[in-house]
Structure 1
Amino acid sequence: MLVVTAVDAEAEAVAAGAPRLDVLACGVGPAAVAAATALALARAEAAGSPYGLVVSAGIGGGIAPHAPLGAVVVADEIVAADLGADTPDGFASVEDLGFGRVVHRPPTALTARMAERLSAPGGPTAVCAPVLTVSTVTGTARRTVELTARHPRAAAEGMEGFGVAEAAAALSLPCAEIRAISNVVGPRDRAAWRVGPALASLKRAFSLLNPVFEEPSHECR
C-alpha cells in the first residue's frame, strides 16, 4: 500500500508508527497531491509492483461537535467540499452541475476494520465520518456554518484527500483517508492549533492500524 501525506512532518509521523509502509509527501492541496500520487502509482505499476491500496493521511481541522482535538477521523466519505460554482441560490457542486463527482466512498469493510482497531484500549478517540477536502482552509464562522449546513455529518477538513482518491480511482484502486485533529474548524486562531499532539495521534493511529494494513488487499475492498 501507499500512504500519501502533504508534508514531511506528516510522512515522518506515519513512518514512525508503521515503518514498513511506503510513505510519500506529495505537497499541499488536491491538485499537487493528485498529480504526485498518480505519478507514483503509474511508476509502481510500470515496475511490475503495483499498489493495492492508497491511503491519504495527515493532520486536519476537526468539525465540532464530532471530532475534538487529538481525535482521529477515518473517512467513510471523501468529499470535494468546494469544487463547484457560487450561484445566486448558493453553492452548486460540480456534481449538481453535471460535470463530475464530488464524493469517493472508501471500502466499507476497510473503514470498519480501521475504526475497530483505533477504538482499542490506549488508542486515540476514533470517529468514522465524512472528511471534507478544500482548496481554501476554513477560517471564518460564516464559512463554517455554510460547510456544516451542506455536510452535517462531516467530522474533519483537509486539503488532499479527494486528490489522492481521484488518482487512486484512475487505476481502480481502493482509497482511504485518515486525519488526526490539530485544530477546530472555525475562525482562524493559529495559536490554538495543537500540531505536535496531532502528529503524535497520527503516529499512534498507524501503529494500531498495522494489522489491518497487513491483511490481503482483497479483504480491504
Structure 2
Amino acid sequence: MKILIVAATRAELSGLCNHFELPERDFTETPGFDLLITGVGMTATAFALGKHLSAAYSLVVNLGIAGCYEWKYPLGSLLNITQDTFSELGAEDKDEFLTIDTLGFGKSSYTAQNTVATTLFTALPKVHGITVNKVHGNKLSIKATEKRMHPVTESMEGAAVFYSCEQAGIPCIQVRSISNYVEERNRESWKIGLAVKNLNDWAIEFLTNS
C-alpha cells in the first residue's frame, strides 16, 4: 500500500520533484509513493483522481498553497485542513445563499478521515477551508464569505480531494502553505516562493520519515 501525493501544479511541488528526481509527467510512480498532478480547479482534480485513485493507496496527501483569511498565521505557515467546503455549491435566493444541503441535493462539506499520528503532521494547526471556482479579491464578496462561512483558507481543489477520497473510502490529509491573505488582489504582497519552499521541505521530511 502506497501514498498518493496530489497537487494541482508541479510548480507547487518543485522542491519535492527535484529532491526525488521525478520526471515531468502528470502521474509518476515510485517505490515509496506516487505523484499525481491534477491541474487547477475542482473539476480537473476530480477527473484526475477518478482515473488514478484506487485501493492500492493507503493514504492520499493533498498538498498546495492557499490564501488565508486569518492574519494571525504568517505567510509561509503550514496548516492542516481538517474540513473543506464547496463554498459556491447551491443557489441564490435574493440576498440569501442556499447550500446544496439545504436544497436537499447532497452535501457541501467534507472531513479528512485519517489515522496519521506522526508529530510532523499532528503539530500543524487544524483549520477549515473552502474550495472555490473564483478566488476572492473583492472586499464585499470577501466580507460576505467570512460572515457566511468563517473560513481560514481557500483553495481551488481541496474539497474535491476530500470528496473523492470519501467516495473511494481512502484516508486523506490536506496540508496547505499560506502564500497570501484573502484581500483585494495585490500580488506584490504575496510570498509564493516562501510558501512553496516551506511546503516542499515539509513534504520531503514527511515522505522520508513516515
Corresponding residue number in structure 2 for 1:145: 143
2:66 equivalent among 51, 60, 73:
60
For 2:81 and 2:9, the matched residues in 1 are separated by 20
Residue correspondence of structure 1 range 1-221 to structure 2 within 5 A: 1-15=3-17, 20-42=32-54, 45=55, 50-107=56-113, 109-110=115-116, 113=117, 116-117=119-120, 126-152=124-150, 154-210=151-207, 214=210
Distance 1:155 1:211, change over 3 A: farther
Deviation string 1:60-107 (CA, Å, 9 cap, x unpaired) is: 101123532111111110211121112214212111211111111113
Distance 1:119 1:53, change over 3 A: closer
Distance 1:138 1:208, change over 3 A: same
Corresponding residue number in structure 1 for 2:24: none
Identity of aligned residues (%): 29
Corresponding residue number in structure 2 for 1:219: none
For 2:70 and 2:156, the matched residues in 1 are separated by 18
For 2:13 and 2:187, the matched residues in 1 are separated by 22
CA contact (8 A) 1:15 1:21 kept: no
CA RMSD after TM alignment: 2.3
Number of aligned residues: 198
TM-superposed CA distance for 1:18, in Å, is 7.3
Corresponding residue number in structure 2 for 1:217: none
Give 2:182's aligned amino acid: V
- Mean CA deviation greater in 163-172 or 133-142: 163-172
CA contact (8 A) 1:118 1:205 kept: no
For 2:178 and 2:105, the matched residues in 1 are separated by 32
For 1:14 and 1:130, the matched residues in 2 are separated by 25
Distance 1:175 1:66, change over 3 A: farther
For 2:162 and 2:20, the matched residues in 1 are separated by 21
5+ residue gaps, structure 2, are 22-31
TM-superposed CA distance for 1:118, in Å, is 5.2
Higher strand share: 2
Deviation string 1:177-221 (CA, Å, 9 cap, x unpaired) is: 111011111111122211111100101221343377x3xxxxxxx
5+ residue gaps, structure 1, are 121-125, 215-221
TM-superposed CA distance for 1:132, in Å, is 1.1
**TM-score, with structure 1 as normaliser:** 0.80
SS in 1 for 2:160: helix
For 1:18 and 1:179, the matched residues in 2 are separated by 20
For 1:109 and 1:195, the matched residues in 2 are separated by 30
CA contact (8 A) 1:5 1:57 kept: yes
